[in-house]
């Protein structure tokens, strides 16, 4: 598996190849087949991977939240919602279904040992990332390729899929 510190460089070096692989997949597979392959690789690789030794996602994105998540999180931390918002949030796109964003990057809730301090209450986007176990990967390949610059597991999934599909690099 590529090291978390090297994944951005390595993925950028093969970005062109990854976009060609996307086009190749569009021509030779279908949603259900690819989703099942993604899911199997996702489960197998994450079963053996310690995310606490990576945390690239917690260091790379400003996490977005909806108002329900802001309410739950401020209660979990024990702060009034306004105080919590002033301390931890910036406004994102008000039109977005998740119109709030964590201010700090790396995330303020990332512990020194790589653990999430709000593990039991973390936002949906944290729980879901990198979405490689979710359906419709074929139509989301652009974001999969973007996530391969952050997440070593996504990078590895793409490399294994290239082998499975006998994609000529």
Point out which residues bind ligand SF4 (CB under 6 A).
4, 49, 51, 54-58, 63, 107, 109-110, 116, 118, 122, 126, 129-130, 150-153
Minimum CB distance to ligand SF4 smaller for 31 or for 96 = 96
Residue 168 CB, shortest distance to ligand SF4, in Å, is 27
CB-nearer residue toward ligand SF4: 153 or 158: 153
Sign of CA dihedral 81, 83, 87, 93: positive
Tell me how far, at minimum, the Cβ of 4 lies from ligand SF4, in Å.
6
Residue 126 C-beta: closest distance to ligand SF4, Å? 3
Using alpha carbons, list the distances in angstroms from residue 133 to 7, 45, 129, 154, 159.
20, 11, 9, 11, 16
Min dist. Cβ of residue 133 to ligand SF4 (A)? 11
2 vs 15, which CB is nearer to ligand SF4? Answer: 2
- Report yes or no: 137 and 34 within 8 Å, Cβ to Cβ: yes
CA distances from 100 to 71, 84, 93, 147 (A): 11, 12, 7, 21
Q: Is 83:73 a contact under the CB 8 Å cutoff? A: no
Judged by beta carbon, residue 32 or residue 87, the one nearer ligand SF4 is 87
| Short-list 160, 103, 152, CA closest to 130 | 152
């Amino acid at each position: 598996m590529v090291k978390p510190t090297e994944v951005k460089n390595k993925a950028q070096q093969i970005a062109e190849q990854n976009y060609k692989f996307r086009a190749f997949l569009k021509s030779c597979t279908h949603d259900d087949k690819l989703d099942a392959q993604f899911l199997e690789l996702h489960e197998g690789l994450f079963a053996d991977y310690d995310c606490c030794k990576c945390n690239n996602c917690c260091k790379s994105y400003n996490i977005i939240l909806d108002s329900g998540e802001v309410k739950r999180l401020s209660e979990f931390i024990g702060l009034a919602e306004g105080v919590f918002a002033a301390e931890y949030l910036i406004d994102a796109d008000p039109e977005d279904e998740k119109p709030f964003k964590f201010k700090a990057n790396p995330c303020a809730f990332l512990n020194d040992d790589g653990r999430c301090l709000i593990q039991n209450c973390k936002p949906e986007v944290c729980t879901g990332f990198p979405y490689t176990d979710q359906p419709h990967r074929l139509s989301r390949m652009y974001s999969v390729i973007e996530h391969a610059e952050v997440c070593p597991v996504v990078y590895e999934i793409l490399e294994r899929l290239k082998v499975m599909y006998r994609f000529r690099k």
